[in-house]
């Protein structure tokens, strides 16, 4: 494996961070893709295929033939244009700050440098690098692309930021989203409120039922979100809605929650309920990562690196999609840092080189086992 240069990695990260790429801005995402492509092409020795879907730019480098390793990341961020003015790039000792540095532009830099150092591309090994431009939106345009690439691969390695302390993400909850609508009947609130059916009251009763489906941190979480009802103060609300965010650790828990939501019944005479939505990201259950996690810890032992811990997390990533496609998946292989999506988002520069070495060694081990 070739030597890795932390200073060069930091310089590449600065270039990516200072190219803002909010998911909702198609022009910004397209420009970011050009910058990512330039950095990647320099290190990988080949230009990517630019894949534009629904106006969003994704990049793919495909090397070798046959089923191999899929390296997966994204270049879009949650930070709106102008965030750099309030949260500029800063490198102070070991701490790097800047919008999107942890989620997940440092992961992309580590990916490119790891592949360049590994030398498998020149040897014709089957490795695919996929960098999408809409992960922060839930992969609306890239979902099928990710799933198709996962089905071609023996393993998927996701360069999202690590869990606390550099832990690898060996399980992720799946995400289901719903909108529950209560239908009532309007009436004048002063003259004849008794002739109405108050959708706001019905909705309030349903929210308590939703909480009853929640199983806490280790089970499915069911979180009522945005609520709205009524049109004017002096009118009994005829309709009301609540959004529902569900995070499920297993498909069995999803089936339980989904059945519970669809079994909800009205509390008020004359009220009706409708439910829209369902599963968006399947859970990444632990069995999909177990063998890869064991490989990663063995690689770290061989390299003299600390063995990373494992973590189960509630947030979803593109790793949910690769696991949902049936492909062994290990996530959280990217940066060590913290505060994603918030002021103070940061990366520890001293961890970038060893994380890239770990990734390079893990890919080599997967390829050797094929």
Expressed in angstroms, the distance from the first to the final Cα of the chain is: 19
115, 101 contact by CB (below 8 A): no
Structure tokens at 290: 């177990």
Active site residues: 76, 135
Other beta carbons less than 10 A from residue 313's beta carbon? 19
DSSP conformation class of 27: H
- Determine whether 211 is exposed, middle or buried from the number of CB atoms within 10 Å of its CB (0-12, 13-18, 19+): exposed
Q: What is the dihedral of CA 145, 290, 137, 82, to 10 degrees?
A: -110
Burial of 57 (0-12, 13-18, 19+ CB in 10 A): buried
Distance in angstroms (rounded) separating the CA atoms of residues 259 and 212:
13
């Amino acid at each position: 494996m070739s030597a890795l240069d932390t200073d060069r990695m930091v310089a590449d990260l600065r270039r990516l961070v200072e190219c803002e790429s909010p998911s909702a801005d198609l022009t910004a995402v397209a420009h970011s893709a050009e910058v990512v492509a330039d950095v990647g092409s320099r290190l990988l020795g080949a230009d990517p295929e630019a894949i534009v879907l629904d106006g969003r730019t994704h990049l793919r480098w495909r090397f070798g033939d046959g089923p191999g390793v899929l390296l997966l990341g994204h270049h879009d961020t949650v930070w709106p244009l102008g965030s750099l003015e309030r949260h500029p790039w800063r490198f102070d000792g070991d701490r790097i700050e800047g919008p999107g540095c942890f989620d997940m532009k440092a992961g992309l830099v580590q990916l490119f440098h790891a592949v360049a150092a590994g030398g498998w591309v020149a040897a014709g090994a089957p490795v695919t690098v996929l960098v999408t431009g809409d992960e922060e939106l839930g992969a609306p345009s890239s979902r099928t692309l990710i799933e198709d690439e996962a089905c071609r691969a023996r393993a998927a390695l996701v360069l999202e930021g690590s869990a606390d302390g550099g832990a690898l993400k060996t399980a992720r909850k799946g995400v289901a989203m719903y909108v529950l609508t209560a239908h009532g009947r309007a009436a004048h609130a002063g003259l004849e409120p008794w002739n109405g059916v108050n959708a706001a009251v019905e909705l309030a009763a349903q929210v308590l039922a939703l909480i009853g489906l929640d199983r806490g941190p280790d089970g499915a979480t069911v979180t009522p979100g945005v609520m709205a009802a009524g049109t004017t103060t002096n009118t009994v609300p005829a309709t009301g809605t609540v959004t529902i965010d569900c995070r499920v650790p297993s498909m069995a828990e999803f089936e339980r929650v989904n059945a519970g939501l669809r079994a909800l019944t009205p509390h008020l005479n004359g009220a009706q309920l409708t439910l829209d939505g369902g599963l968006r990201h399947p859970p990444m259950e632990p069995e999909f990562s177990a063998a890869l996690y064991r490989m990663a810890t063995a690689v770290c032992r061989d390299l003299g690196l600390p063995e990373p811990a494992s973590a189960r997390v509630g947030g979803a990533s593109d790793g949910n999609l690769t696991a949902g496609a049936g492909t062994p998946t290990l996530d959280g292989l990217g940066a060590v840092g913290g505060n994603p999506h918030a002021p103070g988002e940061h990366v520890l520069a001293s961890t970038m080189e060893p994380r890239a070495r770990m990734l390079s060694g893990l890919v080599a081990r997967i390829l050797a086992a094929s």
